[in-house]
Amino acid sequence: MFQDFFTILKKYKVGVSLSEWMTFQEALDKHLVRESLMEFYYVARAVMVKSETRYDKFDSAFVEYFTGVEAPELVRDEFFAWLSDPKNQIAIENIDMSKVPHLKDLQQLLDEFRKRLEEQKERHDFGSKWVGTGGTSPFGNSGFNPAGIRVGGEGGGRSAVQVAANRAFRNYRSDLVLDVRQIKVALRDLRELARVGQNEELDLDGTIEKTCKNGGDIELEFHPGRKNTTRMLLLMDVGGSMTPHARLVSRLFSAAHQMNHFKDFRYFYFHNCVYDRVYKDIERRESIETAEVMHTYDENYKLVLVGDACMASYELVAAGGAIDYYEHNLRPGIEWLRTMQGKYSHSIWLNPDPRRYWDHPTVSMVGNIFPMFELTLDGLEDGIDQLKRRN
């Protein structure tokens, strides 16, 4: 049910997992959503949206899917098929006919209901998966309501779509807010757990299997514990055009440095581009040869470079292009970048400048070497997905 809605949620990157989607389907099966599309909106958001930063994306997806959607004929057919079942006559008898004194009997009431459904189909007052009649209804907002059909009252399809279209949570979007806590949550997804070390953790499944094979005599089975094997190498551009982004890059560094989920975390600094040497400190006083860094930290490290990648073309493509007077690069920076990308197959470039400013020759050249993402939470999450891919 609502498979297209799931596809649209994926399109807007709401981050809905298959498990969450099945949980939502279970909620529908248990009739937890019976009154209106408004209830559908709130239940769906509560079950499938992990963070308030994604509420705006959910609202956009909701509006795209439910605007202009007509109530299907199948729902009406199922409803009248339900009415024709003698087993449901007891429920029908509970309808309060006093609310509609101009109707004489149940059959006239049902005929009037059918008429309202057809009128709604023609007018299409609001697009929803539910059926509404408007005005006073003996079916009510909380009374007789088979098949999850809403008939009248407030909170129908139109208001739910309007609530979503209002986009009240746009200021919570993750591409507008980025702090240390959010970065740490995102970086946590880089964890790669593997069983390493001695057999010191009880293997419950293995124990059960061996015990069964022994006819009930307990035989304990152990295996190595699961430990995070992620190694990260972070290279950050500092100074010059990166100065306005210093606080943002500092947050990224602080989050990565505080992470206790990495097996190893190493960081170095550069200015504009990686050349023959990188630096151990932000003041760029203590340097180390780039070749030594690549030799020391093998291809199992995930490489993350942070910088605006914006410089004069000769700084990127020419030997001696480094603009710092105390640094003379014998090898062009672009060759170093290509060598690093060739060694570290899991590598990305995070750019603190918005994407609309990336129309620059050197930014394009760097972007052709490394997958480039914005230094926002959305961009960071996309970058982490890139780092996790198997080549």
Q: How many domains does the chain have?
A: 3
My answer on whether 204 and 127 are in the same domain is no
Quick check: 304 and 351 in contact, CB under 8 A? Answer: no
My answer on whether 265 and 383 are in the same domain is yes
My answer on whether 204 and 300 are in the same domain is no
Whole-angstrom distance, CA of residue 145 vs CA of residue 197: 60
Q: Positive or negative CA dihedral for 11, 12, 15, 18? A: negative
In this structure, what CATH number is given to the domain that contains residue 235?
3.40.50
Asked whether residue 305 is domain-assigned, the answer is: yes
Asked whether residue 64 is domain-assigned, the answer is: yes
My answer on whether 307 and 350 are in the same domain is yes
My answer on whether 210 and 285 are in the same domain is no
Q: What string of pLDDT tens digits covers the 391 residues of the chain?
A: 577 888 888 888 888 888 888 888 888 888 887 657 788 888 888 898 887 778 888 888 888 888 765 444 444 555 566 656 666 555 555 556 565 555 556 666 667 666 766 665 544 433 333 333 333 333 333 333 333 434 334 444 446 667 676 666 554 454 444 556 667 766 776 665 444 556 667 778 878 888 888 877 787 777 666 666 788 899 999 888 888 888 888 888 877 777 666 788 888 999 999 999 999 888 888 899 999 999 999 999 999 999 999 999 999 999 998 888 778 889 999 999 999 999 999 999 999 999 999 999 999 999 999 999 998 878 888 898 898 876 5
Asked whether residue 286 is domain-assigned, the answer is: yes
My answer on whether 112 and 222 are in the same domain is no
My answer on whether 242 and 101 are in the same domain is no
Please tell me the predicted confidence (pLDDT) of residue 314: 94
**What does each C-alpha distance from 190 to 94, 379, 381 come to in angstroms?**
57, 14, 10
Asked whether residue 352 is domain-assigned, the answer is: yes
Residue type, 353: D
Asked whether residue 104 is domain-assigned, the answer is: yes
Asked whether residue 139 is domain-assigned, the answer is: yes
My answer on whether 26 and 164 are in the same domain is yes
My answer on whether 139 and 264 are in the same domain is no
DSSP state, 311? Answer: -
Whole-angstrom distance, CA of residue 206 vs CA of residue 219: 9
Please tell me the predicted confidence (pLDDT) of residue 151: 38
Asked whether residue 178 is domain-assigned, the answer is: no
Please tell me the predicted confidence (pLDDT) of residue 337: 97
Quick check: 139 and 152 in contact, CB under 8 A? Answer: yes
My answer on whether 148 and 213 are in the same domain is no
My answer on whether 221 and 111 are in the same domain is no
The residues near 58 (Cβ < 8 Å, ≥ 6 apart) are: 9, 12, 14, 44, 45, 48, 49, 164
My answer on whether 243 and 205 are in the same domain is no
Question: What range does the domain containing 311 cover?
Answer: 229-388
Where does residue 324 fall: left (phi above 0), alpha (psi -120 to 50 degrees), or beta otherwise?
A: beta
